[in-house]
Amino acid sequence: MTWDWQIFLTDDGSGRTYLEWMLEAWRWTLAVAGSSWLVAMGVGAVVGTARTLQDRPVLVKLANAWVELFRNIPLLVQIFLWYFVVPKIIPAFQQVPGFVLVVFGLGFFTSARIAEQFRAGIQALPKGQRYAAMAMGFSTWQTYRYVLLPMAFRIILPPLTSESMNLLKNSSVAFAVSIAELTMFAMQAQEETSRGIEIYLAVTALYAMSAFAVNRVFAFIELKMRVPGFVAASTGGGH
């Protein structure tokens, strides 16, 4: 086995090198993952919170339906549905760019999982916190905004870290809707160059680096937001 890393500096036929192409593909991966993360966090937080509301049965049912719908269908199938099936029913959908489709497809899929984490975080809090807020005369909005969510968010930071790293890796499904991201680059470039091992190693390194960067950012947030005596991130003790 001989290595041939020079392959990254050769022309791919359109005037750019494979290295330039790979970095461009990396940007697409980060763009897809970053945008989907915003969608997933936004929708996930709202839906997850809605699942814990005390006196809104309709809202709770709707949120449950959302979670079950997006959690029970495989990701690649969801992307496929958005791309091929929905435009059959609503022709206007054909005009939506693949990037937007995959950002919302991936975002909604992950939002179902993040919603579950938010629900778990809120339900993990002692009942007394909600009662205390009510006793203070807080409205539902205020109860969540000032009492429940700030604590719940801290509790779920570790699973949220994993979920965000997963999201980055799941962004590889974007190749199915013709986004020129890292996985597509790997599949295509290894065919063109016949140097699959070098290409896959480089792509693996980029994925690992990106996921690890997400991990470090979250670890930093966890450290900065820690409430002394509550969930201690580093010592492993709860309350």
Partner 1 sequence: MKKQLLAVAVAALACVGAQAEDTLAKVKASGTITMGVRDSSGALSYTLGDGKYAGYHYEVCQRIIASAEKAVGKKLDVKFQSVTSQNRIPLVQNGTVDIECGSTTNNAARQKDVAFVVTTYVEEVRIAVKANSGITSIAQLKDRNVATTTGTTSVQLLRKHERANGIDFKEVFGKDHADSFLLLESGRADAFVMDGQILAGNIATSKAPADFKIVGEVLNVEPIAIMIRKDDPAFKKLADDTVAALVKSGELAKIYDKWFVQPIPPKNTRVGLPASDATKAAWANLNDKPAEDYAKK
Residues making contact with partner 1 (CB under 8 A)? 1, 12-15, 84, 87-88, 94, 98, 169, 172, 175-176, 178, 180, 183-184, 186-188, 190-194, 196-197, 200-201, 204
Q: Which is nearer to partner 1, 50 or 203 (CB)?
A: 203
* Closest alpha carbon to 180 in 49, 51, 53, 22: 22
Nearest distance in Å: CB 191, partner 1: 5
Q: Which is nearer to partner 1, 54 or 178 (CB)?
A: 178
Nearest distance in Å: CB 175, partner 1: 6
Measured CA to CA, the distance from residue 146 to residue 97 in angstroms comes to 39
* Closest alpha carbon to 70 in 53, 90, 47, 93: 47
Question: How many residues make up the chain in this entry?
Answer: 239
Q: Which is nearer to partner 1, 8 or 144 (CB)?
A: 8
Nearest distance in Å: CB 14, partner 1: 4
Q: Which is nearer to partner 1, 82 or 118 (CB)?
A: 82
Angle between helix 18-50 and helix 182-193 axes, rounded to 10 deg? 150
Measured CA to CA, the distance from residue 234 to residue 29 in angstroms comes to 31
Contacts 24+ apart (CB under 8 A), 192-196: 192/12, 192/13, 193/7, 193/10, 193/18, 195/4, 195/7
Nearest distance in Å: CB 204, partner 1: 8
Nearest distance in Å: CB 219, partner 1: 25
Q: Which is nearer to partner 1, 66 or 207 (CB)?
A: 207
